Structure 1
Amino acid sequence: MNPSSQANAGFQRAATKFKQSIPKTLWDQFACDSNSLSSLNVEIKAIQKSHGEKGSLRNMARLGKFIEAMTQFGKVIEVFVNASEFVCFVWGPMKFLLGVAKTHLDTFDKLLNAYDQIGSAIPGHLLYKDMFREHQNLKVILEDYYSDVLQFHEEALKVFGRSKWRDLFHATWKTFDSRFGPILQSLQSRRELLESEKLSASLDHIHIIRQRIDDLYQDQIRAVDDKGREKHRSRMTLIKEKLRAPEYYLDQEVAAGKREGLNTGRWVFEESQYTSWSDHTVSAHSILYLNGIPGAGKTTLVSSIISRLLEVQSSKPSLPHSVAYFYFKHGNSEKNNHDSFLRAVLTQLISQDTATSQGFFEKLSSQADVNIRSRESLQTLTKSALEEYRVSFLVLDGLDECDREQANVTVKWLLSLLGDDRYVDKTSLRILFSGQRDGLLDVLLRPYPAICLESSEHTADIERYCLQYVPKLRKKFPMTKELETEILSLVTTRAQGMFLYARVVLEYLLRQVSIAKLKKTIKPDVFPAKLESAYERIAASIYESEHESERETAQKIIALVVTAKRDLKWREIQSFFCIDSSNGTIDPDERLQVKAKDLCGSLVDVHPINSQASEHEHAVRIVHDTARRYLIHKKIVDDALENARILSFCMEYLTSGPFSRINRSHTVAAHARRAYYSLQDYAVAHWYDHATELAAIRLYDSEDGLEMREESKRAASLLSRFLVDYGSSVDGSGEGDYSVSLQEILDKIPKDERDRTSFLNVEQRTIWIRQEIENLQDLADDEKQILAELHGSNVGYKCHKSWCLLFANGFDKSDERESHMNRHERPFLCPFDGCFGSIVGFESQVTMDQHHRKNHTDAPPVMLQFPTPKQTRSSLDLFRAASRGDIDEVTQLLDDGHNINGTKATQVQTPLWISAKNGRYEVCKLLIERGARLTPSKRGVGAPHILPLVMASEGGHVNTVHLLLKAHEKNNTLAFSRIFVLLKIAIRMKHLELLELLLSFCQSKSDIFVQKRAVLREACGCAQVSMVKLLLQNGFQSEADYSCIEICLHKMKYEPEVSDWAVQILEALLSTGQPKIIEKDWISWLILEGHQATVFMVLSYPKTRLKRFYLKELLDLATEKASANLVDLLNNLLAEATAADENDFYQDFIRNYAPLVGHDT
């Protein structure tokens, strides 16, 4: 290396790193000759003149220290390098940043302050010029300074270099501010090194000191990044819950798992159309259309492209680009429409950048879920998210699998973005569409480049795949080379560009049981000529098998996989074989000992989900949509009949004995140990989907009309029973055509999932059973195995809302589930970090907006006050000033020596006490900072009221209460029993925001003891629905007992004006699954007064355990009131109670008397 290059090396490394972090257009702009100190001064004067004309001059002198420091820096480094090559990346970015921020004064001030702090941290280098010239090995210190300054500009450009920096400034500046601290610390440390006598030390010693500075900087940045990632994860949890995106990542996982061999599909990366489309350096938009016949392998190839894009994204974080994808799926309502695509893509775009997630968190946390998920909102948000990246890759597969109208909407909307002015010179959109030429896609995408899977490269790929598969055949069969060649020739020739054909046929050949069978299969008159022929051969081998048991089992598996409303896991399919819904029993010995793939051959695929190692958690899918269509078209699977059968099963299952409301805990636990509830998640979430599909089917849609009619009538009857059993007052009776009566029933049930949940008490029973499952202990080894193979190895803490994506998956910890459930009930979160509203949330946007206006708006301007003549002041003046909130007067009086803890009247009224009582936040803050006591030194009468905290609470001064709570926490001066007093004050005042604050404080302190039951009863007695729900969502649910129920019913009877609120509170209490109801008196009153819906709710509650003679009395009352549905419900309850009593009697006999007569217990 020549001396000149060696001198440049350190500066060049810093400049190169900076170059890689910014867009090429900016780099070129900074590198041009015009970016000199003189051009910067011209820009500064122009900005100052503009501000002066508008009457908004800023203190631009704050730039002076930085400019002077870097001017001297440039003169010093001239000893080693051509300074102009490097200082342009100081002056250029500075000029750019000031020019961008100049019109937003608050932002501009922040930037000026940052430059001022950096300038103060950099010494005047000219003082050390001779030293650097004499000891050139010390130039590394200058390189360090240069690197730090460029790092500052890199971070600043992440804020101001965004196309929508104004909208996201609040979010991005927080990130910048947290990373600015370590940079400033590094500069200050380098200054200390330069100004100390340590420069006389050896070069090795200096290197050690520099390394310490660098290590400290890296440690600080790692801590900042770790904290940022944790906040990002927390924000994304809420955003995902708001958007409810379909599980797009599972489709990528499954598609990637289908790729056989390392080399298949790699040819596409060499295609010129692909390389142009994927080039990051090109700023123009680009479209690519990947097309081919059904089964050609488009989805598998798309998964390779997505994997490649994601690899580049993770390996080159300096390239700020996004990768988002979506697989459309036929027949899947969550994956076959434009809105689902938008929700999935938007989730991905937000998740790939921490600043973007902060900005969108602030937008979404304060909006209703239903508003966010409207098409107009989703499109607007997605457009906005795309602006955050310089290059955005969007990959869409299977557009031919969704409804043509939906595909048309999606493609046209995406193409319309290409002409959107917002992306000009800012964002490059790269969109890949994948689908067959169906008369829609090929027409819309005709003007754009395309890759067709009918090329010689694709054919060669199929040949490679077949060659890689042959060893599997050779391992099973003693084949000759000639036989191998013949098989390869047959498969590759007849595949005709269809990867699916090759895979299905090769798997079919592998299933042969002898070499003779194999040879027979490849004869010209037997070997499948096309894909449909292959399906026909495979179906025949399954449905015409001489082994009846395997045949029937395979038929049932295929029918379930084709008809289910979501992917079924292998353990769920096993459960369908083990559970007898008609008798309410389960036989774990019915678990299949043969795998799905062995039974169903090439018609199904088995996929690991979420990297689940256990095969019981693997998803079983039909091999391809062409196979599904073939099976239904050929009536091999009667989807209408199978849909009716699944509905019948769900209805019968959910009303079977183990789900009975009168079951005791030990009974539920006994059923749970044998995994009877393993299909509860599917049945609860999808019974309505099967019912609506059945209601839309006419009998002539099925050839087997008689069987279909009978099964459909049975399903409709079981649905009626289910509605009664789960607390609905819908009349399920109907005559004539089953579909008419079924549709009439469904018309009376809310279509919206949330409304339907309120209409029925399915959620209550789900919670009750899940609580028993979560509490299972002391499981025997065989019980653990049964649960793992049928219910799942990780039961987890699942969400109770059947429409939620986490209903069937859940959380590792119960408190995570509680936080999640709280967001369902109180979905509007305050976006300000540290605010109690960001923890507990709000029920409505109105209340959240009120909170925001009250707590997070700028304080009103301080009115000018004329000075008053000085006069002799007494101690009372301090109390008067504190009372009226005169911060200047209080400050002056304290400076004059007045006693900050002086008292008057009852010996408990201090200046802090009186300012807290009047909500004087700023005065309270000043007094606390000056050392005011939070608890008076003398105890007076009415102990709670001696606390300023209690006085602020009684005044409803939330901000002041928050301030005092923090002060007590810091000084450890709050007796936690006082929290009980404060909670009751908030409830009696009906001050929801104050209650929210207090609960958020309780959540942060695990050692707080509160008389929770008394607080909950207080809220019930005040008929405060929101407060009761808030308490139940924040750790009070275990305190809901029968006394709370009685309070609600008492309100209904004696205060009818609050009856509606009392019913809502009653419903919330029952939803906890905690109260036990064994008395009938209040229920009798409800029947007599005609509160039928409330009666249904109480009687359907799982822990309502009335004795038989009570039920008979209630039955007589219901009969007198001519309430047919209620009579049916009570008859059912009476029959269940009778059976339960007889069973208990039998068990007591076995336990107590059988041993006496020598029987084996």
Structure 2
Amino acid sequence: MATGARPAAQNSVFETAYRKLKDSVSSVDANAFQATSFEEVWRAAEEIEEAHKARGNLRNMRRIEPFLKSLENYSKVVEILCNGTPYLPWIWAPIKLMLQLANQYTTIFDKLLEAYRQIAEVMPQFGRLQLVFQDDPNFQIVLGMVYSDILEFHRRAYKFFARKLADEQHDDELERLAEKRQEGTCEWVFRNALFQAWKGDAHGDPVLWVKGIPGAGKTILSTYIIRKLQEEGRFTTAYHICNSYTTGKHLLGEIMRSITVQFLRSNLDIASYIFENYANKGLTPSATRVKGLLEKLLQTIPSIRIIIDGLDEYPVSDQRTILNELLSLSKLASGQCRILFSNRESENINKRLNGRPTLSLRDQNADLTKDIELYVHAELDSFRHDFGDPLVDKIERQIVAKADGMFLWVRLIMQSLEQCHSQQELLDAVATLPEGLDKAYKRILDDLRDRSSDKSIRILQWIACSFRILKVHEIKDGIVFQTPGIALSEQTKLVDSFWEHCKPLIEKGPKNTLDFVHYSAKEYVLHETSGPFLDSSEAHYGLAISCMNYMNSSYCFIDPQNTSNALTIRVLRGYHGLHHYANKFWFQHLLQYAKSGDTVEDEELDEPLEEIREFWKQEPGSGAEKLKLDDTTSADKIRAQLKVLDSIPIAQGMGLDILTFQKFLSQENSSHQAPENLKSDELRHDPTHFSEISQRYQNIVRNLIHCSPDSLPEGVQHYELQSFKQTYLDSAFICRYRECPRYSDGFGSSEERHNHEKIHTKPLRCVDPKCDFFARGFTSKTGLLKHNRKYHPLPEETAPPAFEPRKLPEVVPVPSPVQIPQPAPPRVEVIPAPVVPEPHDREGPNKPATRRRVYNRAEGLRRHKLSHEDPKFFCPQEDCGRAFYRPDLLARHEFQHQREVTQA
């Protein structure tokens, strides 16, 4: 084959197909694909065949041989074309992963092998064709098209398996909680009479309340119940575990959607109904609509069990609404839907659940004591080698006796005992065991004060008062920026273990996050019982200072003196890991501090505020005047909200611009645009440079994520790139809609983000290309219908003009003198008021005079004029032939024919 320059068209096909597949897979899989040889694919196929033989379950793996051989010949032909690019391994590498994933599902595995067999049958003999057409540019384009088709097949296959795996990953949090359960514990609940009645009695009360004090193990018990019910397979089980970090106005909708999705995954036969009646119509999953769907599902799915854990962690204002809606579901389906609530007592919950069957963990003292014995015995097992059985058995008895049914208390105590390195230290620690959770927390906090007070307080401030759960690297950077005048560098960055001295009060969670060991720990450090240990006002002040200091460091992204490579290295080395959080919440922390009620006059704020002022395109506060809000009351609400910053005019002006800009982007005209258009609007209307900075930062992150080992930027080592991806990949692709919670905590791939962003768009569009709503669309069918009736009515939908009778002029007769005869008075003829004809009215001898129609919009007048012209559009349907003067009316008319055919 000719070794000259690749044709541009052919090269573009290879590049497009490669990028499309790479953007769809995780970085881990992308790296694996790049390093996979063709021999490894053969080996993987042989290993799977051997595994099937061992199980006595042969799947005829020979079906894949023709495909692999054809692919091997093809790869030899395109090898020169792909020379110097990362394209070649992506031809065969996905096959290995597809086989490994499909191997878990017999039916899917067979279909995959059959698909490979069919592809092999139509693959050309490239070796022979090369001898004849090797110098023909069209042949090279054909090679690119084959490459594109193979990669597209694997992209779709990967997407399918990603969905299957996502279904399994839905249980990741449940699995993480289940791993905390000690083997043998919680089993007593399935022997409990109240639980048995709830689980199996279709005629009893469909609701069971499991209540207990903080730290009693309610969530672990709930996860055990969920897992056991799933394993039994007799019930369709759904669950929702509430979390205090779940914020927003739609907590009820969050629960309803979670439950509905789980029901759909368990009953795929009703998926077509959901698609036709909901998804295909573009209906948004609002809480009301999902509840209506859920009620229909409950009528068709037998033996439903729903578990709701930790409702007390949600705001009090939401608890009552959620309880009312969920309890209403339990009344449906003739007792087939049964709900278990597991939570602490609270006023709202008590009002709604008192009188329902209640399993109080306080009343299960014997069962809980046995469970705690099992847990303590297992935890102390590692102590027996150093301290001997007699001493450890004695300590075990003392801990169990003081536990008082609190697993969390035991867990805190066990972790504190790990600091004991002699028998005397162990005995002293056990002799002074604190009673209850509050005293256990107090002991831990006292110890933190003695060891490293300032850093410990900052760590706890970030965890307790952040607006979302934070990752380790975000807190690590935030602590550094909290010190005025310190920039983030290799010398000032903290080590990854910076937080471990705060154990056991905090722990690492999923996706490398840091959180309190229990919700009650967060409550304690902020409550007066602890002092409070943390003052929320001071915490928000510290976080505001930290975020502002970071934002000031981000000026480098718009500083022309910084090269692209220099910025890439800064991002790669983690100097901007706090960006997504600080960019969204710096002003919210400042505002929250101001709302504390204290006089907000702090000289320490002057310097960061003056520095951050440089990011404004004009004087802070003036940008809001140029942003037109649909609702005039919104501007008044924003100004009222900012009254607490009267003493800091510059901050008040900044807040006015920021909050008005956010409101502007959430309006109808902006909030449902395509993401690309929305980002352009942000750059155009943002009173600051923050949007520009964020987009440049995100572009650099995306380039680094997609960077392969053979295309590293200058000065970047391979291990640095791998470390960066490991730290930042799982949330690198943020949602591009600013009002979304995922705007500051993104996704692991652009494909995940794309699927998420569909919920922000309006899928139902006006059919008239000239209408504004052809691009903007509607979220509901009702909105589209109202729009059509108002602006694009069918002739039969047009209401006749209202009848307004015209009053005749009143004629007052003049009396004639009787004595003087007069001739008969002339006949009075009443002439109606003159009618000015519209300029486009057709003239005709018999055309009656009409009232002049008035239009508010020029577009409306233009459309009306069309009705006076000869129709140009005709229905192609046989036996119809109806004429229309607008194409959108014809389109809607044809839709009526389609619906009639569908209904027939």
Task: Give 3-state SS (helix, strand or coil) of 2:247's partner.
Answer: coil
Kindly provide the CA deviation profile for residues 588-645 of structure 1, in whole angstroms up to 9, marking residues without a partner as x.
45454463663112101222x2xxxxxxx42211111221222223232222212122
Shift of 1:506: 1.2
Report the counterpart of residue 531 of structure 1 in structure 2. 437
Residues 519 and 648 from structure 1, CA distance in 2 versus in 1: closer, same or farther, beyond 3 angstroms?
A: same
Distance in 2, matches of 1:353 and 1:378, equals 16
In the superposition, the TM-score normalised over structure 2's length comes to 0.57
Equivalent of residue 801 in structure 1, options 722, 731, 737: 737
- 689-698 or 448-457, larger mean C-alpha shift: 689-698
Change (3 A) 1:959 1:432: same
How many residue pairs were aligned?
A: 607
Q: Structure 1 CA distance, aligned partners of 2:648 and 2:170?
A: 35
2:368 to 458, 464, 467: 458
Q: Please tell me whether the aligned partners of residues 765 and 778 of structure 2 are also in contact (alpha carbons under 8 angstroms).
A: no
2:520 equivalent to 1:621: no
CA contact (8 A) 1:396 1:433 kept: yes
Equivalent position amino acid for 1:799 in 2 = C
- Contact persistence 2:238–2:262 (CA under 8 A): yes
8 Å contact kept, 2:242–2:308: yes
Query: Contact 1:495 / 1:502 at 8 angstroms: preserved in 2?
Result: yes
Which of 227, 231, 243 is residue 307 of structure 1 equivalent to? Answer: 227
Pair 1:504-2:416 in alignment: no
SS of the residue aligned with 1:289? Answer: strand
Contact 1:606 1:619 in 2 (8 A): yes
Once the two structures are superposed, the pairs formed by residues 686-725 of structure 1 within 5 Å of their partners are 686-687=585-586, 689-699=588-598, 709-710=602-603
Q: Which amino acid letter does the alignment assign opposite residue 507 of structure 2?
A: D
Q: In the alignment, which residue of structure 2 is the partner of 1:781?
A: 718
- Report 1 or 2 for greater relative contact order, CA contacts < 8 Å, sequence distance ≥ 6: 2
After TM superposition, give the deviation of residue 816 of structure 1 in Å: 6.2
Q: What does residue range 76-225 of structure 1 map to in structure 2 within 5 Å?
A: none
Deviation, structure 1 residue 415: 2.4
2:215 is matched by which residue type in structure 1?
A: G
Distance 2:621 2:648 in 1: 23
Aligned-pair CA distance for 1:442:
3.8
Aligned to 2:694: 766
Is 1:348 equivalent to 2:262 in the alignment?
A: yes
Contact 1:399/1:407, CA 8 A, preserved across alignment: yes
Tell me how far apart the structure 2 counterparts of residues 449 and 724 of structure 1 sit (CA, whole Å).
62
Deviations 1:848-867 (A, max 9, x none): 9589999xxxxxxxxxxxxx
State how far apart, in whole Å, the 2-side matches of 1:712 and 1:368 are: 48
Task: Rate the CA distance shift 1:492–1:581 in 2: closer, same or farther, 3 A.
Answer: closer
**Cα distance, 1:590–1:652 mapped onto 2, change above 3 Å:** closer
Q: Distance in 2 between matches of 1:445 and 1:846?
A: 36
Shift of 1:528: 1.1
Contact 2:282/2:780, CA 8 A, preserved across alignment: no
Contact kept? 2:467, 2:585, Cα under 8 Å:
yes
Decide whether aligned partners of structure 1 residues 513 and 739 sit closer, same or farther in structure 2, where only a CA change above 3 A counts.
farther
Matched, 1:262 2:183: yes
The one-letter code of the counterpart of 1:293 is I
User: 2:174 maps to which residue?
Assistant: 252
The match for 2:316 among 372, 395, 404 is 404
Residue equivalent to 1:563: 465
8 Å CA contact 2:508–2:515 kept in 1: the answer is yes
The secondary structure found in structure 2 opposite 1:492 is helix
Shift of 1:429: 1.2
- Return the alpha-carbon distance in structure 1 between the equivalents of residues 780 and 525 of structure 2: 53
Cα contact 2:516–2:522 (8 A) shared by 1: yes
Q: Is the 8 A contact 1:602 1:623 kept in 2?
A: yes
Higher helix share: 1
- The two structures, once aligned, show a CA RMSD in angstroms of 5.2
Secondary structure class of the residue paired with 1:792: helix
Residues 360-371 of structure 1: pairs in structure 2 closer than 5 A: 360-365=274-279
Give the superposition deviation at 1:465.
0.7
The letter of the residue matching 1:690 is: H
2:198 equivalent in structure 1: 277
In structure 1, distance between residues paired with 2:271 and 2:162: 7
Aligned to 1:682: 581
- Residue 466 of structure 1, CA deviation: 0.7
* Residues 180-199 of structure 1: CA deviation (Å, up to 9, x unaligned): xxxxxxxxxxxxxxxxxxxx
Q: 1:658 aligns with which of 547, 551, 556?
A: 556
In the other structure, the counterpart of 1:154 is: none
Question: Are residues 541 and 746 of structure 1, via their aligned partners in 2, closer, same or farther at CA, if it must alter by over 3 Å?
Answer: same
Q: Distance in 2 between matches of 1:747 and 1:387?
A: 50
Partner amino acid, structure 1, of 2:227: S
Question: Which residue among 573, 582, 595 is the counterpart of 2:497?
Answer: 595
CA 1:399–1:798 in 2, change beyond 3 Å: closer, same or farther? closer
Equivalence for 1:428 = 336
Gaps of 5+ in 2: 1-105, 116-152, 626-638, 672-677, 705-710, 767-773, 790-871, 879-885, 895-904
Counterpart CA distance in 1 for 2:581 and 2:240 is: 24
2:324 is aligned with 1:387: no
Indicate how the Cα distance of structure 1 residues 234 and 534 shifts in structure 2: closer, same or farther if over 3 A, else same.
same
In structure 2, relative to structure 1, the CA distance for the partners of 1:594 and 1:555 (3 Å cut) is farther
After superposition, the C-alpha distances for 1:200-230 in whole angstroms (9 at most, x for unaligned) are xxxxxxxxxxxxxxx9999689999xx9xx9
In structure 2, what is the equivalent of residue 15 of structure 1?
Answer: none
Shift of residue 302 of structure 1? 1.2
> Distance in 2 between the 1:561 and 1:722 partners?
28
Aligned to 1:997: none
Unaligned runs of 5+ in 1: 1-214, 610-616, 831-839, 855-916, 924-953, 963-1161
Distance in 1 between the 2:779 and 2:344 partners? 45
Equivalences for 1:823-842 in 2 at 5 Å?
824-828=760-764
Paired residue type of 1:627:
A
Q: Is the 8 A contact 2:732 2:747 kept in 1?
A: yes
Local SS of the residue matching 1:699? coil
Q: 1:365 and 1:684, CA in 2 relative to 1: closer, same or farther beyond 3 A?
A: farther
CA contact (8 A) 1:799 1:810 kept: yes
Listed as ranges, the matches of 1:587-986 within 5 Å are 587-593=489-495, 595=497, 598-607=500-509, 609=510, 617-633=511-527, 634-656=531-553, 657-660=555-558, 662=560, 664-687=563-586, 689-699=588-598, 709-710=602-603, 729-730=623-624, 738=647, 746=655, 749-750=659-660, 752=663, 754-755=666-667, 758=682, 760=686, 762-776=690-704, 777-778=711-712, 779-784=716-721, 786-788=723-725, 791-793=727-729, 797-804=733-740, 806-807=742-743, 814=750, 817=753, 821=757, 824-828=760-764, 843-845=777-779, 849=784
Query: Partners in 1 of 2:316 and 2:733 — Cα distance?
Result: 40
Residue deviations 1:73-132 (CA, integer Å, cap 9, x gap): xxxxxxxxxxxxxxxxxxxxxxxxxxxxxxxxxxxxxxxxxxxxxxxxxxxxxxxxxxxx
Q: Could you list the per-position Cα deviations for residues 222-244 of structure 1 after superposition, in whole angstroms to 9, with x for gaps in the alignment?
A: 999xx9xx99988999xx9xxxx
The CA distance in 1 between the partners of 2:784 and 2:322, in whole Å, is 35
Q: Which moved more, 1:669-678 or 1:326-335?
A: 326-335
Could you tell me how far 1:771 is from its partner in structure 2? Answer: 1.4
Equivalent residues of 1:654, 1:680 under 8 A apart = yes
1:516 is aligned, of 403, 424, 436, to 424
Question: CA distance change for structure 1 residues 358 and 675 in 2, over 3 Å: closer, same or farther?
Answer: farther
Report the counterpart of residue 119 of structure 2 in structure 1: none
Q: Secondary structure at the match of 1:602?
A: coil
Residue 304 of structure 1: how far off its partner (Å): 1.5
For residue 534 of structure 1, report the CA deviation from its aligned partner.
1.3
Taking a change above 3 Å as real, the CA distance of residues 492 and 599 of structure 1, as seen in their structure-2 partners, is same
- Supply the AA of the counterpart residue of 2:218: K
Using the aligned pairs only, state the percent identity.
21
8 Å contact from structure 2 (residues 238, 263) kept in 1: yes
Paired letter, 1:434: S
Q: Contact conserved, 2:646 with 2:652, CA < 8 A, in 1?
A: no
Please say if residues 482 and 542 of structure 2, whose CA atoms lie closer than 8 Å, have aligned partners that are also in contact. no
TM-score (ref. length: structure 1): 0.45
- 1-structure distance, mates of 2:322, 2:218: 19
Shift of 1:470: 0.6
The 3 A distance-change label for structure 1 pair 768 and 592 is: closer
Specify the SS of the correspondent of 2:399: helix
Task: Give me the whole-angstrom Cα distance separating, in 2, the residues matched to 1:282 and 1:786.
Answer: 55
| Amino acid of the structure 2 residue aligned with 1:567 | I
3-state SS of the aligned residue for 1:678?
Answer: coil
Instruction: Please state if 1:449 is matched with 2:348.
Output: no
